[in-house]
Amino acid sequence: MDYLCAKILTHRSIFMEKIKIGITIGDINGIGLEVILKTICDKRILTRCTPIIYGSSKVVSYHKNIVQLDFQFHPIRSADQAEDDKINVVNCWTENVNITLGKYSEFSGKYAQIALEQAVSELKMGYIDALVTAPINKKAMQMAGFPFPGHTEYLTEALGSAESVMMMIADTLRIGLITNHLPLSKVAEQITIERVLTKIKIMNETLRIDFGIEKPTLAVLGLNPHAGDDDALGMEESEIIRPAIVAAKEAGILAMGPFSADGFFGSAAYRKYDGILAMYHDQGLIPFKTLSFGNGVNYTAGLAAVRTSPDHGTAYDIAGKNMAEHDSFRTAMYLAADIARNRDEYTEMHADALNKNRKKVLKVEEGDYIE
């Protein structure tokens, strides 16, 4: 059975329903709520999904005054009370919160975590169909006792996945990472044949199921300069990365490489592939943000549920100034809705095929097959 298909067979049918998208407010001292409110006030959003903000009505009202937008929201205690054609706000706490715009704090981390945990809990219960997370500050989260490097690692554990792939998406440019938020000094020890092969498989199935690409092509980058230059600059390519690619090809995956990262992007070879796997964070994100900053989406592949986020951070320097652009967050909302529908359609199609196959092996008394 397909790697992701096994995880989404229980996904609630939403093919004929409006998608319910949970939105976590992120760091209350950053631009998260500004880009959220600017996005969901666009009437086109309400025609495609039902937005459900996880946070606090008081905090939402505070940021609403900053963006100076005229709209009403519907306060609720849980997403199962959400109403279509309304901007729903789940009150995850009731106490007053001290907002210090442009500065990280233990409190901004604490309330970002509270909102995230309730949203994920309700995602697992099926109250929402997808999750879009506003930016958090890693230092603030650490101060609040959050034991994960970021959203990706937390969601991978919370949703019961052994592995996931952090992907950056901008139209047809899709870059995944073998390692995520690691110091550069620790990257090489995390590059193993098993890990590279697992990430290739996850990305392949993600492109098939979530993005509807029947036979995706994958490019895998090398770890070292010039992809090792025939072992002159490192052995990881020949001893680890290339064997993983060979194993992927034997499994029927169109994986190629390893490619030297600088030449691969410099020559625009990235345009020939449906997906690209980079070995570490900056190897993938520097070219991605150079090519598409402000329009990209962070997507966590390999999870049992859909999660996207914008491609930017908390932007403390412009928080509270009504200057933040919301293009990336809007794209993250649209992508979450599209992937949720793609998964539902994939499940429906394969369920029909499974039922047809079952009928063909059922014999009636006369010995004929039921068609």
CA distance 261 to 233: 14
Percentage of the chain modeled with pLDDT above 90 = 82
Report how far residue 135's alpha carbon sits from residue 27's, in angstroms, rounded to the nearest whole number: 6
Average pLDDT estimate for 167-194: 95
Between helix 327-360 and helix 193-209 the angle, nearest 10°, is 90
pLDDT tens column, 248-269: 999 999 999 999 999 999 999 9
What are the residue ranges spanned by the domains of the chain? 16-161+303-371, 165-294
Is pLDDT of 371 > 90? no
Task: Report, as an integer, the average pLDDT of 139-145.
Answer: 97
Equal CATH topology for 16-161+303-371 and 165-294: yes
Amino acid at 39: T
Contact call for residues 299 and 327 (beta carbons, < 8 A): no
Q: What is the pLDDT of residues 278-335, one digit of tens each?
A: 999 999 999 999 998 878 999 999 999 999 999 999 999 999 999 999 999 999 999 9
Structure tokens at 342: 């793609």
The answer to whether the pTM exceeds 0.95 is no
Q: What's the pLDDT band for 181 if we cut at 50, 70, 90?
A: confident
Chain centre distance of CA 298: 5
Looking at the domain 16-161+303-371, which fold is it?
A: Isopropylmalate Dehydrogenase (3.40.718)
Given a contact cutoff of 8 angstroms between Cβ atoms, the answer to whether 137 and 109 are in contact is yes
Specify the fold of 165-294. Answer: Isopropylmalate Dehydrogenase (3.40.718)
